[in-house]
Amino acid sequence: MVTNVTDKYLKMKIHILGICGTFMGGLAQILVEKGHTVSGSDKQFYPPMSDQLDSLGVEMIKGYEESSLPSADLYVIGNALSRGNPCVEYILNQKLDYTSGPKMLGEIIRDRKVIAVSGTHGKTSTSFLICEIFQAQGIDVGFLVGGVSDAFKNSACLGSSEFFVIEADEYDSAFFDKRSKFIHYHPDTLIINNIEFDHADIFDDLSDILKQFHHVIRTVPSNGNVLFHDGDENIIDLIEMGCWSNTHKLGGEDNLKLSIEEGIIHFNDQQFDVNDLPMYGRHNLNNVVMAMYTSFLYGVDPQKSFSALTNSKGVKRRFETVFKNSDKIVIDDFAHHPTAISFTVQAAKNHFSDKKIVGIIELASNTMSRGHHGGELYDSAAGLEQVYWLNLSSKKNQNFEYDSINLLLEDLKKDINNIDVILIMSNKDSKKISEPIIDLIKNK
């Protein structure tokens, strides 16, 4: 049966199914800090999450055979699992206590001041930027973020302060709860970076997504905050559906503004030079603006916020240089939507304005591989010298897509001497692309 974790101080034996995902692995970290004994199952275990789980003393069980399922007081079932999974069927047949990861986390953080970062793009980066600002003020902030940053040891931490920052995903919670994860977090402050159509495997159209976002808006208290950037028509439509909290439209006359042309962030009578920041592209600077304004709402002076972000360690796989020698640079980025791709391409062109840049873009998400973005997807990278489209889904949409990494590498090798920057964009395991490319460069 679905259960509530009503006593937050009761020490339990908890088994997590799908534990190696970033969310569930982060939840395991928090549960261990709460004093629970945690074990977990998954199809495979891989770094960095497997290393993090091992350091926590979490027993890791490979596979979902019924015989491998340990006894536990509570089972937390990840949204990657569905009916027909042997462990799921056993739990249901035996009427064992189970819940979803988002519901459990929501109960753990119910007494905290929750800052939920949502939107199609920028959730991970904005979440970590807020955490870096708080950390620089000596605040032991709690967080669970779906990524890795060198600024923090792990992707999640319970923290001892009143604040908890959560990357608030609109993906569904579990096979038995098709509501978006963020409905469980009851945020005091809800950040909506942007809204576009995505996740075609669970949403039919944009109206489906707006409905889920409006569900979470309904949970924000009247003395809470909803933050968004000026100019996003989908968010404007969302707010017009009804909002009962304090709204903050960034970029308006009275709020923090960003002037890219002048390279300046304006905050009332204060100005900040974006060239002092270790990140590139308007999308990343918008994340900075959002993090600074959020922190301001909780009493952090903008000057202190900006100072903290000049030392930002950033997020792994967000315009990350994974290789560099005297004549070649390989950049890894998580972009997997036309808007994100176009932002990343523009950032690369601005930063490497005198170099030849080629892109390798993997159509790895369900929305991309199924062709839902149409020609917009291919147009998003039109500013690059050349693009190699990798589609391993066996659902190729265009004849110029590669269905084999080896075939892609063969063609890349022909022109490698004329390339300065290789920009890899994928939301899957990009090392399967970057590592053979780096070997190719080293051995040329």
How far apart CA 407 and CA 390 sit, in angstroms, is 10
| Pairing of the two strands 270-273 and 156-157 | unpaired
Domain ranges of the chain: 13-103, 109-309, 320-443
* Residue 331 pLDDT > 80: yes
Taking a C-beta distance cutoff of 8 angstroms, is the pair 73, 50 a contact?
no
What whole-number distance in Å separates Cα of residue 212 and Cα of residue 89? 28
What's the pLDDT at 6?
Answer: 45
Per residue in 310-326, pLDDT (tens digit) is 988 766 666 788 888 88
Greater pLDDT, 34 or 353 = 34
Residue 312 pLDDT: 82
Better-scored residue on pLDDT, 6 or 440: 440
pLDDT of residue 224: 98
Report residue 7 CA to chain centroid gap.
30
Asked if residues 155 and 207 have their Cβ atoms less than 8 Å apart, the reply is: no
pLDDT at position 395 is: 64
Kindly report the average pLDDT of the chain as a whole number: 86
pLDDT bucket at 16, cuts 50 / 70 / 90: very high
* Pair 256, 293: CB distance under 8 Å: yes
Q: What is the mean pLDDT of residues 349-369?
A: 76
Predicted confidence at residue 425, as pLDDT, reads 84
pLDDT per residue over 181-235, tens digit each? Answer: 999 999 999 999 988 876 556 667 788 989 999 999 999 999 999 999 988 899 9
Q: List, in order, residues 6 or more apart from 343 with CB less than 8 Å away.
A: 121, 281, 282, 283, 335
What amino acid occupies position 233? E
Instruction: Compute CA 227 distance to the chain's CA centroid, rounded to the nearest angstrom.
Output: 18
CB neighbours (10 Å) of residue 162? 15
The domain over range 320-443 is classified in CATH as 3.40.630.30: no
416-439 average pLDDT score: 84
Peptide linkage before 302 cis (omega within 30 of 0): no
Q: How many CB atoms are closer than 10 A to CB 109?
A: 25
13-103 matches 109-309 in fold: no
Q: Who wins on pLDDT, 387 or 112?
A: 112
Q: What CATH homologous superfamily does 109-309 map to?
A: Mur-like, catalytic domain (3.40.1190.10)
Dist. CA 280–CA 263, nearest whole Å: 11
244-303: pLDDT as tens digits: 999 999 986 556 676 666 788 888 888 899 889 988 777 788 899 999 999 999 999 999
The model's confidence at residue 347, banded by pLDDT at 50, 70 and 90, is: confident
Q: Alpha-carbon distance 88 to 67, whole Å?
A: 12
Residue 168 — pLDDT band, cuts 50, 70, 90?
Answer: very high
341: confidence class by pLDDT, cuts 50, 70, 90: confident
Cα 444 to Cα 433: distance, rounded to the nearest angstrom: 17
pLDDT at 357: 87
Residue 378: pLDDT band (50, 70, 90) is confident
Q: Is the pLDDT of residue 5 over 70?
A: no
More confident residue, 6 or 314: 314
Going 213 to 219 to 222 to 226, the CA torsion angle's sign is negative
Strands 189-192, 113-118: parallel, antiparallel or unpaired by DSSP?
Answer: parallel
**CB-based contacts of 131-134 (< 8 A; 24+ apart in sequence):** 131/165, 132/291, 132/308, 132/309, 132/311, 132/312, 132/313, 133/291, 133/292, 133/295, 133/300, 133/304, 133/305, 133/308, 133/309, 134/161, 134/163, 134/165, 134/295, 134/300
Q: What is the mean pLDDT of residues 387-410?
A: 78
Please determine, for residue 442, whether its predicted confidence score (pLDDT) is greater than 50: yes
From residue 411, give the alpha-carbon distance in Å to each of 389, 403, 435.
Answer: 12, 13, 16
The string of pLDDT tens digits covering residues 82-99 is 999 999 999 999 999 999
Q: What percent of the chain has pLDDT over 70?
A: 87
pLDDT at residue 141, as a whole number: 97
Interval 126-151 mean pLDDT: 90
Q: What is the pLDDT of residue 396?
A: 59
240: Cα within 13 Å, side-chain hemisphere: 6
Instruction: Reply yes or no on whether the pLDDT at 178 is more than 50.
Output: yes
pLDDT of residue 162: 97
Q: Identify the weakest region by mean pLDDT among 1-10, 283-292, 319-328, 376-385.
A: 1-10
The pTM assigned to this predicted structure is 0.78
Q: Where are the alpha helices (DSSP H) in 151-281?
A: 206-217, 233-240
Pick the CATH number of 13-103 from 3.20.20.70, 1.10.10.10, 3.40.50.720, 3.30.70.600: 3.40.50.720
Is the predicted pLDDT of residue 368 greater than 80, yes or no?
no
